Amino acid sequence: MNRKIGFIGAGNVATTIIEGLIDTYPQACNNVYISNRNKNKGRSLQKKLNINFCENNVDVIKACEVFFICVKPDNYLEVLKEIKSFISKDSLIISIAAGISIDYIQGILGTSFKIVRAMPNIAVSVRTGMTTISANNNVTEKELNLVMDIFNSIGLADVIDEDLIDVATIISSCSPAFVAMFIEALADGGVLQGMSRDKAYKYVAQSMMGTAKMIVDLEKHPGELKDLVSSPAGITIEGVYNLEKNGFRSIIMEAIEACNLKIKSLTDRKK
């Protein structure tokens, strides 16, 4: 990894990406450049990871061939206008923000730039994240593979058409909150029956992690796993019946629909 890679914004996601990059490619620290609105935080990260700190966003653009924009959506327009005149046509721009489409960025910068949109979820912080990736037609296969390599260092990355990236973001980036609620509810059920809370959380979290691993590693269909542990007239099927009777699946699907409506409203505000 000998390309110079920049990060405008050095928050939690940017820091995680940088750490994953350096763990995978130890010499990459010499080629990583960051800028941050909070200069003290930026310099602190510079010292911690032995990377390069730039006093402003433009210096990052001038130094790097590839750069991430890791600022909040409300600050996007300001940042894009600031750096627009300094971006090379050969630069690779990687955007990380919900509700900021490639079309929106192209509307400000123009259509001749190479733009990738990436949406990592919170689990990248433990290197088991899910990142959805879309790119415009200016991005080459080699450049897309570079982006995939970066995000695969902190989990799993997958390319998807941008018209599906919002729903992909919801089921990968919003779902940790839903899964955490389910874990909490299962643990509450254990506590209700007399179990200590710390043990209940440990058992439920491990069971969820193991179930997910079986689906991913063994390519088991979720329905197959449900059937495997649901014996005729048994305990598990009784619980499944109660969940189905109370609309468990439809409630989850309606939550996804509500999230989709919300993200569309945020996107519409940016048009």
- d(CA 156, CA 73) in angstroms, rounded, equals 24
Residue 165 · residue 117 · CB < 8 Å? yes
- d(CA 170, CA 266) in angstroms, rounded, equals 13
Please give the annotated binding residues, written as ranges.
57
Q: Which residue has the tokens 């542990």?
A: 229
Residue 222 · residue 249 · CB < 8 Å? no
Q: Would you state the structure tokens that stand for residue 187, as one six-digit string?
A: 């643990």
Of residues 16, 62, 73, the one with CA closest to residue 35: 62
DSSP labels, 73-113: GGGHHHHHHHHGGG--TT-EEEE--TT--HHHHHHHH-TTS
Please give the annotated binding residues for NADPH, written as ranges.
57
Handedness of CA 34, 40, 44, 50 (dihedral sign): positive
- d(CA 194, CA 236) in angstroms, rounded, equals 19
